[in-house]
Chains A and B, each alone.
Chain A
Amino acid sequence: MNCNEAEIAAGEWLARLDRDDSSPEELAAFERWKTADPRHAAAYARLAATWQALDRIQATRPSASEPIDNDYLNGTLTRGPSESSLGHLFQSSLDDSTGHPSSGSSHSSLPLFARQSRVRESAQYAVAENSPQSATLQFSNALSGRRSSHRPWLFVSVAASLLVAITGFWIAQTSGGPKSYRTGIGGFQRIVLEDQSVVELNTNSEVRVALMPTLRKVELVRGEASFEVVHDASRPFIVSAGDTAVRAVGTKFDVRRLDNSVEVTVDEGQVAVGAPSLLESKVDLVTMSIPQLTAGQSAVASGSGVRLRDLPKREMARKLAWQTQMIVFDGDTLAEVVDQFNRYNERQLVIADPTLSTIHIGGYFRPTNLDAFVSVLQSDFGIRINPDGNRLLLVTATAN
């Protein structure tokens, strides 16, 4: 880490001023330090910008009814690597108020299974944090070794299994047969299969998994799941969803069952989409003209065939945001937004006033924190909420 004096001092000043009891003398001393050398001011500005940027994690705050968890951010919500420089990072830190959850009373009776997989890469980070030297060392080890060992994965898998078993959301059939995994409404589950492939279940979803010597088969019974498939050319990985199947060798993709169709989105690598029976036989995909999707593409398969399209990056990111247990809107209509929230909650939003349907909404939301979203609607969009049993009717605030 950068260890020059100005930076160390800047960190100390930032922490000191972050307390709510800074005295006038301290503030004066800070000003003296800052103006003594332009590099002091520069080092401080850099850390202050970082500190402010961190405020954006408030978007992931759990509902206010959940007790405070000191270690809530221990690796759960984080996703895998993402390349690139940081182009537009933090640009909305000034105006991004819609994404912030309300601090008002929140009430959710829904079980949250979101976080079983937060167990525990933390062993890697166990350091004496008062010793910058050793911490830095550990830090870089942790980074480079983050996925290099299988142990953390095993650990995750074991701990996740325990938790899910306790909460009754996991039905494991006798060993050898297919295994079922389910989430309830608002749930999320990350499953590490025996071959180390990873399945993530979105809200209200179910898969049945059968790993066989020459084939890895997953049936998406309902809902939506993402797959991170460990490469094994001798054992294709086939996900079937009704009349549609997806075949991969090693890649990342998402499959969602809709009412009369199946949507497949490819994040990395390439997959083939076709009828289950066809894909399970080892036919030559090219001669059979079976549609193949590459990274950044999505396909909707229905009775009338398979429709491919290229997804802009932003849309891809939005589609997959659920993997971080967030949903992202970017000028979507209220009607679309309501559909999304209704996937994740027992309490259903209903647009009772059709003129509201075309309101556009942007921001990050935790889909299970319905109360936060509803309070944003009330405070920022002139919408009134009329509770009606398990439904929340949305009407224009001025209407009677």
Chain B
Amino acid sequence: MNPIELNAWLAKEILVHERALRGYLSRFFKNVADIEDVVQETYARLLALADPALNTVRNWHAFLFTTARNVALDRIRRSRVVSLDALAEMGSADVLDPAPSVDEALNARQELALLLDTIASLPDRCRETLTLRKLYGLSQREIAQRLAITESTVEKHVAYGVRLCAERMFAKRGGRGKPDAERTSPVQKGKSDEL
């Protein structure tokens, strides 16, 4: 795969499961940094596979969770203080969260809304930088001139912005993924019996 294809594949087949993967891992690790490491190591193992191996995998969701489970087991075995709970959980629990249903697929409107929502939620300068870079296609230099800031500041906004976007789009629990109940929307749900 060329880099463009690789990125598209990652986003479509792997990163879309990251939120669920983190949820799964949180059953074994209390510490967020541990989860972080396992996720990263899992991705590293996936990326180390050669293209032909990638082509043979049919169910990426299952493959991802199985790989993560192996990484987690290695880590638990290596750690000096082994949590018995974690090991028990590892041994018994079915590794697979239910596969994402078709219903969960984002439709076109939601896809776009997620991207726009993510950008809208960035800090001001960061949001402006990403808007100019991604929506209007300005270069970092042009952005620096337009916003009257240094190029190195623009670079920092890009670095921080892409990390926040990844966090919001793929990692974070809550936010977009949460049901309305926690958002206290001014609009409440209708109840059918009150119509």
Interface residues of A (CB under 8 A from B): 1-2, 4, 6-8, 11-12, 14-16, 18-21, 38-39, 41-43, 45-61, 68-91, 93-94, 121-122, 125-130, 132, 135, 138-140, 142-144, 146-148, 150, 153, 196-198, 228-231, 233, 247-252, 268-272, 285, 292, 294, 313-314, 316-318, 320-321, 323-324, 326, 328, 330, 364
Contact = CB atoms under 8 A, between A and B. Distances in A.
A383 B166 CA distance: 40
A364 B112 contact: yes
B44 A52 contact: no
A73 B116 contact: yes
Interface stretch (B15-23, B51-59, B77-85): B15-23
B179 A83 contact: yes
Contacts of A4: 33, 36-37, 40
B160 A11 contact: yes
Query: What is the interface of chain B mostly: helix, strand, loop, or mixed?
Result: helix
Among B45, B107, B114, the most chain A Cβ lie within 10 Å of the Cβ of: B107
Interface in B149-195: 151, 155-160, 162-167, 169-172, 174-180, 182-192, 194-195
Interface string B82-112: 0000000000000000001011111111111
B158 A61 contact: no
B12 interface: yes
Contacts, number: 352
B153 to A, nearest CB: 8
Interface string B126-148: 11101111111111110000110
A89 B106 contact: yes
Contacts of A83: 176-179
A221 to B, nearest CB: 24
Contacts of A272: 195
B7 to A, nearest CB: 4
Contacts of B194: 233, 249
Contact of B135 (A11, A50, A72): A72
A196 B8 contact: no
B23 to A, nearest CB: 11
Given A47-B166, A90-B111, A85 B104 contact: yes
Contact of A12 (B128, B139, B159, B186): B159
Contacts of A248: 190, 195
A231 B40 contact: no
B43 interface: yes
A292 B192 CA distance: 9
A249 B192 CA distance: 9
Contacts of B27: none
Going nearest first, the 8 A-B pairs with the smallest beta carbon separation are A87-B105, A269-B190, A38-B44, A317-B107, A231-B188, A42-B43, A251-B190, A15-B159
Given A56-B115, A125-B124, A14 B159 contact: yes
A68 B163 CA distance: 25
A47 B132 contact: no
Given A49-B8, A198-B187, 7 more contacts: A42-B46, A50-B169, A76-B120, A89-B111, A140-B174, A231-B191, A320-B109
Nearest to A124: B121
Contacts of A78: 113, 116-117, 120
Contacts of A11: 159-160, 162-163
17 contacts: A4-B33, A38-B48, A39-B37, A39-B41, A47-B163, A49-B10, A54-B115, A56-B115, A72-B135, A78-B117, A81-B180, A135-B160, A142-B121, A144-B182, A249-B195, A270-B195, A320-B109
Contacts of A314: 107-108
A130 B135 CA distance: 23
Nearest to B12: A91
A196 B151 CA distance: 43
A57 B141 CA distance: 21
A291 B37 CA distance: 55
Given A46-B15, A82-B176, A249-B191, A58 B40 contact: no
